[in-house]
């Protein structure tokens, strides 16, 4: 049974950092495309970062240089290190897995929608 459990969200002031974790079970994160998405109130869900089975990463434009996606294969866990946070980063952050999803590992939400998702973890950045 595939399961994704996020943790690490919270409240932080602008300029601060947070590290999100996504503990996976039922499959190997190292063998599949993994991603982070976020959704702010009243907005569509958007791709934050992804990492494929070769370790190749993709980032959304506003996240480049501030966010880093990584994984610990021994712990079967995905991470998102977020630095230089600003109020526009406030959102619910979701971990997603394209288990047996082929080679696509971009950040288009509709290409992930039917795969596996965690319950989300809230990130709030105050100015």
Are the C-beta atoms of residues 71 and 77 closer than 8 Å to each other? Answer: yes
What integer pLDDT is reported at residue 101 of this predicted model?
Answer: 87
- In which order are the strands placed within the sheet that holds 77-82? 3-7, 18-25, 77-82, 67-72
Q: pLDDT tens-digit profile of 58-78? A: 999 999 999 999 999 999 999
pLDDT tens track of the chain, all 127 residues? 999 999 999 999 999 999 999 999 999 999 999 999 999 999 999 999 999 999 999 999 999 999 999 999 999 999 999 999 999 999 999 999 999 888 899 999 999 999 999 999 999 999 9
The two beta strands, 91-98 and 116-117, are antiparallel
Measure the N-to-C terminal CA separation of the chain; round to a whole number of Å: 41
Find out whether 101 and 33 touch, Cβ atoms under 8 Å.
yes
The predicted pLDDT at position 1 comes to 94
Beta bridge partners of 117: 96
Under DSSP, the state recorded for 49 is E
């Amino acid at each position: 049974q595939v399961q994704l459990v996020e943790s690490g969200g919270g409240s932080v002031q602008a300029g601060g950092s947070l590290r999100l974790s996504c503990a996976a079970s039922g499959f190997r994160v190292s063998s599949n495309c993994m991603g982070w998405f976020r959704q702010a109130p009243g907005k569509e869900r958007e791709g934050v970062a992804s990492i494929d089975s070769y370790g190749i990463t993709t980032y959304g434009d506003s996240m480049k240089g501030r966010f880093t996606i990584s994984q610990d294969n021994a712990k079967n866990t995905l991470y998102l290190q977020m630095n230089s946070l600003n109020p526009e980063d406030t959102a619910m952050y979701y971990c997603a897995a394209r288990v047996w999803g082929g080679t696509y590992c971009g950040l288009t939400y509709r290409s992930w929608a039917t795969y596996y998702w965690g319950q989300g973890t809230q990130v709030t950045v105050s100015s």
